[in-house]
Amino acid sequence: MSAFHKVLIANRGEIAVRVMRTARAMGYRTVAVYSSADADAEHVRQADQAVCIGEPLPAQSYLNIAAIIEAAHASGAEAVHPGYGFLAENADFAQACLDAGLVFIGPSPAAIRAMGDKAGAKRLMQAAGVPCIPGYQGEDQRATTLTAEAERIGWPVMIKATAGGGGRGMRLAPSGAVFAELLQSAQSEALHAFGDATVILERAIVAPRHIEIQVFADRHGNAIHLGERDCSVQRRHQKVIEESPSPAVSPALRERMGATAVAAAKAIGYEGAGTLEFLLDAEGQYWFMEMNTRLQVEHPVTEAVTGLDLVELQLRIAAGEPLPLEQNDVRMSGHAMEVRLCAEDPQQGFMPQSGTLAAWRPSPSLRTEHALRDGAAVPPFYDSMIAKLVAHGRTRDEARQRLIAGLRDTVALGVATNQQLLQRALSHPVFADGNATTAFLAEHADALLAPDVTMEERAVWLAALLLQTGERGWPSPLAHTLPNALRFALDSKVHAVRVTPQGSGRFDVAVDASPPTAVELLSLSGDGHMRFLCGGVSEHALAVRTSADRSWFHFRGQAFELRDLTHVAVPRAEAAGGDGLLRASMNGRVIALLVAEGDAVAAGQPLVTLEAMKMEHVHCAPRAGRVAALHVAVGTQVAARHVVAEIADA
Omega before residue 352 within 30° of 0, cis? no
- Secondary element (H or E) of residue 513: none
Residue 74, number of CB atoms within 10 A of its CB = 12
Please choose, from the candidates 250, 274, 282, the residue with its C-alpha nearest in 3D space to the C-alpha of residue 438. Answer: 282
Cα dist from 550 to 314, 491, 640, whole Å: 46, 11, 16
Task: Count CA atoms within 13 Å of residue 508 on its CB side.
Answer: 10
29-35 and 6-9 as β-strands: parallel, antiparallel, unpaired? parallel
How far apart CA 534 and CA 550 sit, in angstroms, is 24
Please choose, from the candidates 420, 425, 430, 444, the residue with its C-alpha nearest in 3D space to the C-alpha of residue 347. Answer: 420
Active-site residue 294, yes or no?
Answer: yes
Burial zone of 381 (CB within 10 Å; 0-12 exposed, 13-18 middle, 19+ buried): buried
Residues 6+ apart with CB under 8 A from 297: 15, 84, 239, 242, 340, 385, 388
Q: Are 516 and 510 in contact (CB under 8 A)?
A: yes
Which one from 294, 424, 458, 623 is the annotated catalytic residue? 294
> At 584, is the secondary structure helix, strand, or coil?
coil
Omega before residue 56 within 30° of 0, cis? no
Cα dist from 400 to 147, 298, 338, 370, 403, whole Å: 43, 16, 9, 20, 5
Phi first, then psi: what are they for 373, rounded to 5°? -165, 170
Q: Are 113 and 95 in contact (CB under 8 A)?
A: no
Residue 2, number of CB atoms within 10 A of its CB = 16
Q: What is the 3-state secondary structure (H, E, C) of 123-169?
A: HHHHHCCCCECCEECCCCCCHHHHHHHHHHHCCCEEEEEEEEECCEE
**Chain centre distance of CA 615:** 11
Helices within 582-646 (DSSP H only): none
> At 404, is the secondary structure helix, strand, or coil?
helix
Please choose, from the candidates 510, 518, 457, 507, the residue with its C-alpha nearest in 3D space to the C-alpha of residue 481. Answer: 507
Please choose, from the candidates 614, 617, 633, 637, the residue with its C-alpha nearest in 3D space to the C-alpha of residue 63. Answer: 614
For every residue of 435-477, DSSP letters joined together read ---TTHHHHTHHHHH---HHHHHHHHHHHHHHHHHGGG-SPPT
Task: Count CA atoms within 13 Å of residue 200 on its CB side.
Answer: 22
Helices within 225-370 (DSSP H only): 251-267, 299-306, 310-318
DSSP state of 10: -
The catalytic residues are: 294
